[in-house]
Amino acid sequence: MPLSLAIKTLLKRTLSDSQRRTLKYLPAKLLWSRDLPRLARWFGTDKEGGHHYTQHYQRHFAPLRRKPLNLLEIGIGGDSSPQRGGQSLRMWKAYFPQARIFGVDIYDKSCHEEPRIKTFRGDQVDAKFLRGLVRQIGTPDIIIDDGSHRNEHVIATFHILFPLLGPNGIYVIEDLQTSYWTQDVGDGWDGSTDLAAPHTSMNFLKSLVDGLNYEEFVADDYTPTYFDRHIVAVHFYHNLVFIYKGLNNEGSNLLGKRFQLDDESSHALHPQTLTSDFAGTVRHPSPPS
Ligand SMILES: C[S@@+](CC[C@H](N)C(=O)[O-])C[C@H]1O[C@@H](n2cnc3c(N)ncnc32)[C@H](O)[C@@H]1O
């Protein structure tokens, strides 16, 4: 038996679950607490290696690292195997030392729960389940969709969860390649070879980019959507997008402020009480046990 495997087996036999957990987090904490690509490799998520997402995550998330955030990720990993998965939840826990990490999966992943990590079993397109979950955990500051990657799911989940995201929150969607993938690539993919196909995630997201500039639309009868009014930036990378929430009401340099939108009307649109704000005070419920 190789030495590393022998050591692993010995530790498994002699240490308790919580001692093993502490040992797993120790090098991450001591050596790479700010280095997301290293943390991803250490915990074994394909956010690095299979994909190259962590360089972008690090750029966007570094200023938030020490904030007491609520991070919600759809897709815990390992599909139907209850023991597999959880790698990204552990990576986020190591990277954000004060955050509460919540994971959702269609399969039971409760064996990955530990202090500051809580899991929920449910479907990412089940609006009742998702709303109940947000009521329970409090307003999420970061939402990551790494679930089924089916286009119709990605779009439906965004419609449900984006309005529930905190006022200056960040919504991330991974694996946008499925916009271009059809049954030819694999059973179940619902993308299209037509780059303008209206049902793909990428085309939905492209429409949000126009929405950033809704105040320049000259049609008199245009009514801004919730997304027009509450998205202030959209950053695309290879197969990945970061969508920033905020009040999009700067006004046009030439057309002025034609659309009424103040804080109050924005909050009225928000379907639940807002509790957190990166820019201001952050109020959190107590951590999950
Ligand atoms: C790519 S894995 C997540 C990987 C993990 N986030 C990581 O980075 O290590 C996708 C997960 O989404 C889950 N999933 C698939 N369809 C889902 C759905 N409709 N609702 C919730 N979770 C779903 C799968 O069971 C699988 O565990």
Higher pLDDT, 263 or 247: 247
Residue range 101-157, pLDDT digits in tens: 999 999 999 999 999 999 999 999 999 999 999 999 999 999 999 999 999 999 999
Looking from the CA of residue 47, the nearest atom of ligand 1 is 8
Sole residue written with tokens 């993938």: 181
pTM of the entire structure?
A: 0.89
| Joined tokens for residue 157 | 């989940």
Domain 35-267 homologous superfamily, CATH: Vaccinia Virus protein VP39 (3.40.50.150)
Pocket of ligand 1 (CB under 6 A): 45, 47, 73-79, 85, 87-88, 104-107, 123-124, 146-148, 153
Ligand 1 atom with the smallest distance to the CA of 175 is: 1
Lowest mean pLDDT among 22-26, 67-71, 133-137: 22-26
Question: CA nearest 116: which of 280, 285, 272?
Answer: 285
Nearest to 18 by CA among 117, 120, 121, 137: 117
Could you tell me if 104 and 88 are in contact, meaning their C-beta atoms sit under 8 angstroms apart? Answer: no
Mapped onto helix, strand or coil, the DSSP state of residue 105 is strand
The alpha carbon of 102 and the centre of ligand 1 are apart by a number of angstroms equal to 13
CA–centroid distance, residue 97 to ligand 1 (Å) = 24
Active site residues: 149
Give percent of the chain with pLDDT exceeding 90: 77
- Binned at pLDDT 50, 70 and 90, residue 262 comes out as low
Please determine, for residue 248, whether its predicted confidence score (pLDDT) is greater than 90. Answer: yes
What is the radius of gyration, based on Cα positions, of the chain? 20
Residue whose Cα lies nearest atom 8 of ligand 1: it is 88
Residue 147 C-alpha to ligand 1 middle, in angstroms? 4
